[in-house]
Amino acid sequence: MKTAAYFQGTGRRKTAIARVRLVPGEGTVIVNGKPIADHFGSDANAEAALLPFQVTNKARRFNAMVKVEGGGYHGQLGAIAHGIARALLQADPEDRQALRKAGLLTRDPRAKERKKPGLKRARKAPQFTKR
C-alpha cells in the first residue's frame, strides 16, 4: 500500500459526477459536507456506495470526503462507488482484481437517449392513421 496524504478518484454515472478524496482514518464518509446517511436519507441503498470498501476489506481504514453533483439519487450512488473504487486502486494496486470482479472499476455507459425530431420521445413515434 502506498503512503500518501490522500488518494483521489473521480466517479461518473449517468449525469452524476463524484470527486472522492480518501484519507487514512476510521471510516467516516462525508458527502457534500454531510454524513452519507443524512445526504441520502437513512436508506439502506446508501450502502451500495460503500461497496468498494467491503470488497477490499478496507472499511475502517479510510475516511472519504465526497463532492457529488448532477444526476439523481441512484446516479450519485453509482458515481460515489466508482470514485471510491478508483481512489482505492491508487492506494493499493493489488486490489484491482477484486474491484474488477465486483464490476466497480467499469464506468457504466448507460444514459438517457436523446429525443429525436419528429418523435414524441427518443423512439416513440406519433400514432399512424391510414385514413
Residue 15 belongs to some domain of the structure: yes
Q: What is the CATH number of the domain that holds 58?
A: 3.30.230.10
pLDDT at site 45: 78
Residue 74 belongs to some domain of the structure: yes
As a whole number, mean pLDDT of residues 114-121 equals 97
Residue 107 belongs to some domain of the structure: no
> What does the buried/exposed string (b/e) look like for 42-70 if buried means 16 or more CB atoms within 10 Å of the residue's CB?
eeeebeebbbbbebbebeebbbbbbebee
Polymer length of the chain = 131
Domain that holds residue 88: 7-101
CA nearest to 82, candidates 105, 103, 108? 105
Provide the number of structural domains found in the chain: 1
pLDDT digit string (tens) for 57-98? 998 899 999 999 999 999 999 999 999 999 999 999 999 999
Residue 48 belongs to some domain of the structure: yes
As a whole number, mean pLDDT of residues 92-117 equals 95
